[in-house]
Chains A and B, each alone.
Chain A
Amino acid sequence: MYVAVKGGEAAILATHDLVAEARRGDPNVPEISVAQIREQQALACARVMNEGSLYDQDLAALALKQAQGDVIEAAFLMRAYRTTLPRFGSSEPLDTAAMAIRRRVSATYKDLPGGQVLGPTYDYTHRLFDFALMDSPAEMAGLDPAVSGRDDTGASASGDARVKPEHDGLKAPLDATMPRVPDILGAEGLMEAEEPPEGDPRPFDLTRDPVSFPADRDVRLQSMARGDEGFLLGLGYSVQRGFGGTHPFVGEVRVGEVSVEFVPEELGFAVDLGYVTLTECQMVNQFQGSKEVPPQFTRGYGLVFGHSERKAMSMSLVDRALKARDFGEAANYPAQQDEFVLYHADNVEAAGFVEHLKLPHYVDFQGELELIRRIRREREERLAQEPNTMPEAAE
């Protein structure tokens, strides 16, 4: 018999103290500041902003600090905070063609208008540890006159001090607007068009209304933009490996700043709220065409907050896979099934359901325990009554 009990308040208060201590770590190590995380862990902040579905670099940094770097916990904090805020409305749709480009590469056109801009990327690094980021000459102070006696010019103190400012003045700025690569193909009629539906309707908002299936493209894109990067990466990878039948080209990946414009009711004109950093990916996929449509490429689209290329690419792979129905393709694989993708992409919900298993299930389990004991008892009684049969085989 189980009797409900209360308790644990003191233990919970003590765990709050303990988690604060664990978060702080060794007090001899300087405490990390939110500004340091925002400035020096920007890619982690971008992931938290995406999965937390809230663009605010300071809050993302705070969330990471508070969550000891646990990205999903940090996204959860962002989601929870978001619900406390009033929503003023929706922005004007972003114009990514007017992005201030920091990085822009295409795997389909070598000489595209505006050029290939590598920007800040790890793509061409050797993935070898850079111990210069860890060591500082100060550690040897007082031991080695050659080190301790010299002025710290910054050149050897940190790998990130290797800035070459002389480059800045040499190059002309990039073009203010660069065509999106699918638009170049589109001009020839070779690319599936992306046009707003009749009347350019307001998009569905899954934070306000329940999702139903089949889900339209706007629902799918919103869901993926806030979805778990790892989950979408796995699904995108599965598509490439044959569980979805597309192995596309990267038409373009671009990273940069885009203005957000909002029309406040009381003003009646668009106000430019400032820049957000975005990553956009367009995948070019093959398509056979049909009686009505001449052969043309189809596309997958990814758009996310911050510098998040892996996420934008994964999103665009899965976006194309989820168009299976539109092109009369069989939806045999997980990445092609909207219900599967959308119900499982949300890591905050997924984590909640998985982690709720840690909460007390004492009563449920008592029920199970009673049941299994009764079944075993009955089985033993039955066996005792039929001593000459071969019970294991007969059952």
Chain B
Amino acid sequence: MTQKTPRQSWMATLARASRSEIETLLGDPPAHDLLKAPETGTVMVEGRAGGAGRRFNLGEATVTRCVVRLSNGRMGFSYALGRDGRKARLAALLDARLQDEAEGSGLHQGVATLAAQQVAARDLASRKAAATKVDFFTLVRGS
């Protein structure tokens, strides 16, 4: 994916968030219909030979999805790795709410904070890996 839409970005953030983070962000769940109850299935993960060549099936991964509709008719979706049905339902509600809220609202700020935390966690892991980067030096022998 080259350029993500704002919705793709928040859905990605919610997919990586924990259930409790999503619960905290959403607060009291709004009234809604369950269009598609949380369902756990799999997605076949594809790789490419040599990283860039022919596609092949690496193996499946568990995925849980959910679709909700708010009383104003707005639909929210959630797709994320794992089997957490409650997280999927709450994330779908957030997806619906975020589509209705103006940019810069408290909810959008909350997602931005979560996204920043995820970037920070990734950054920290990268720094820890960077501490194991090899600095080669050359020993000059003879004259």
Residues of A close to B4: CB separation below 8 A: 272
B41 in contact with A86 (CB, 8 Å)? yes
| Residues B60 and A218 in contact, CB atoms below 8 Å apart | no
A82 and B42 contact, CB distance less than 8 A:
yes
Q: Nearest residue in A to B62 (C-beta to C-beta)?
A: A56
Contacts A55-B60, A196-B53, A271-B15 hold; do A91 and B45 have CB atoms under 8 A apart? yes
**B16 CB within 8 Å of chain A:** yes
Bound complex: CA of A109 vs CA of B121, how far in Å?
A: 30
Chain B residues closer than 8 Å to A91, beta-carbon distance:
43-46, 61
> Quick one: which of B43, B55, B59, B129 contacts A93, CB cutoff 8 A?
B55
Given A55-B60, A196-B53, CB of A85 within 8 Å of CB of B42: yes
Report whether B43 and A269 are in contact in the complex, using a CB–CB cutoff of 8 Å. no
CA distance A58 to B81 in the complex (A): 12
A222 pairs with B58, CB closer than 8 A:
yes
Flag if A303 contacts B58 (CB, 8 Å): yes
Residues of A within 8 Å of B69, CB to CB, are none
Q: Chain A, 333-347, contact with B by CB distance < 8 Å: what is the 0/1 string?
A: 000000000000000
Q: Is B142 located at the chain interface by the 8 A CB criterion?
A: no
Given contacts A54-B60, A273-B15, contact A264 B126 (CB under 8 A): no
Q: Which of B5-13, B25-33, B101-109 contacts A (4 or more CB under 8 A)?
A: B5-13
Residues in A neighbouring B122, C-beta threshold 8 A: 100, 257
Q: Is B127 in contact with A172, judged by CB distance below 8 angstroms?
A: yes
B134 is an interface residue with CB less than 8 A from chain A: yes
Q: Which B residues are CB-close (under 8 A) to A86? A: 39, 41-42
B83 sits at the interface (CB 8 A): yes
Q: Assuming A55-B61, A96-B47, A97-B51, is B41 touching A85 (CB within 8 A)?
A: yes
Residue of B nearest to A192 (CB): B50
Bound: A196/B53 CA distance, A: 4
Question: 8 Å CB contacts to A: which residues of B59-104?
Answer: 59-63, 65, 67, 77, 79-83
Partner of B57, one of A82, A100, A120, A205: A205
A74 to B127, CA, bound (A): 34
B interface residues, how many (CB within 8 angstroms): 55
Contact present for B79 and A226 (CB under 8 Å)? no
Count of chain A residues near B, Cβ 8 A? 88
A243–B66 Cα distance when bound, in Å, is 52
Among B8, B63, B123, point to the contact of A270 (Cβ < 8 A).
Answer: B8
Determine the chain B residues whose CB is within 8 A of the CB of A111 once the complex forms: 136
- CA separation between A269 and B9, bound complex, in Å? 12
| Contact A276 B41, beta carbon cutoff 8 Å | no
Q: Is A203 an interface residue (CB 8 A)?
A: yes
Q: Which chain A residues lie closer than 8 Å to B129 at the CB level?
A: 101-103, 117, 119, 174
Q: Is the CB of B136 within 8 A of A110?
A: yes
Asked if A47 is an interface residue, CB under 8 A from chain B, the answer is no
Report if A264-B48 is in contact (Cβ < 8 Å); known contacts: A87-B43, A201-B55: no
Cβ of B41: which chain A residues have Cβ within 8 Å of it?
Answer: 85-88
Determine the distance from Cα of A117 to Cα of B122 in the docked complex, in whole angstroms: 16
Q: Contacts of B127 on A, CB cut-off 8 Å?
A: 167-173
With A and B bound together, what is the CA distance between A82 and B136 in angstroms?
46
A338 to B2, CA, bound (A): 38
Measured CA separation A282–B53 after assembly (Å): 13
Q: Does B141 touch A at the CB level, under 8 Å?
A: no
In the bound complex, CA of A205 to CA of B45 (Å): 11
A119 and B132 in contact, given A85-B62, A174-B126, A225-B59 (Cβ under 8 angstroms): yes
Q: How far is the CA of A374 from the CA of B52 in the complex (A)?
A: 65
Interface status of A53 (Cβ within 8 A of chain B)? yes
**Nearest neighbor of A52 in chain B, beta-carbon distance:** B59
A197, closest chain B residue (CB)? B54
Task: Flag whether A275 is at the interface (Cβ < 8 A).
Answer: yes
Contact with B along A222-252 (1 / 0, CB 8 A): 1001100000000000000000000000000
20 cross-chain CB contacts under 8 A: A87-B42, A88-B65, A91-B61, A117-B132, A168-B131, A170-B127, A174-B129, A183-B51, A194-B48, A204-B56, A225-B56, A226-B59, A269-B5, A271-B77, A272-B8, A272-B12, A274-B12, A274-B16, A274-B80, A305-B58
The residues of A with any CB-CB pair to B shorter than 8 Å are: 49-50, 53-56, 58-59, 82, 85-94, 96-97, 100-103, 110-111, 115-120, 167-174, 180, 182-183, 193-197, 200-207, 217-219, 221-222, 225-226, 257, 259-262, 264, 266-267, 269-276, 280, 282, 299, 301, 303-305, 319
